[in-house]
Amino acid sequence: MRSLTEEQRRSQRFSPLLGDHRGLPPALFLAGDLDPICQDSFEMYGRWQDNNGNAQLLIIPEAPHGFNRLPTRLAAKTRAFSHGWLRHRLGDAADSSNSEAV
């Protein structure tokens, strides 16, 4: 695989941070505060929130990159929160589509 130029890396095609975020559904951004790319989550959350007003950011103290895949209580608690968040959003979507069908 060939390397991308600096200009290519800064294009919307290759960088989610630089893409068009208008009209997107609610988003939950999770990051451990020890994750070396935690700042990317902050930036993506900010862009999503600025464009849609429907983002939530959860920074987990003392958690490394990929912590949610580890067999720990913290990971299990974070997964339970994110699953509940998703169920709530899907329930809201189902409720609104049911009310539109009436």
| pLDDT at residue 20 tops 70 | yes
pTM: 0.77
Q: What is the pLDDT of residues 40-95, one digit of tens each?
A: 999 999 999 999 999 999 999 999 999 999 999 999 999 999 999 999 999 976 66
In 3D, which of 27, 24, 53 has the Cα closest to residue 41? 27
pLDDT of residue 80: 96
Print burial letters for 84-93: b (CB count within 10 Å at least 16), e (below 16): eeeeeeeeee
pLDDT of residue 96: 65
Q: Which two structure tokens, joined as six digits, stand for 11?
A: 């294009």
pLDDT of residue 43: 94
Structure-derived torsion over alpha carbons of residues 16, 21, 24, 27, reported in degrees to the nearest 10? 60
Please report, for the chain, the start and end positions of each structural domain, with discontinuous segments joined by +. Answer: 9-101
pLDDT of residue 97: 62
pLDDT band at 9 (very low <50, low <70, confident <90, very high): confident
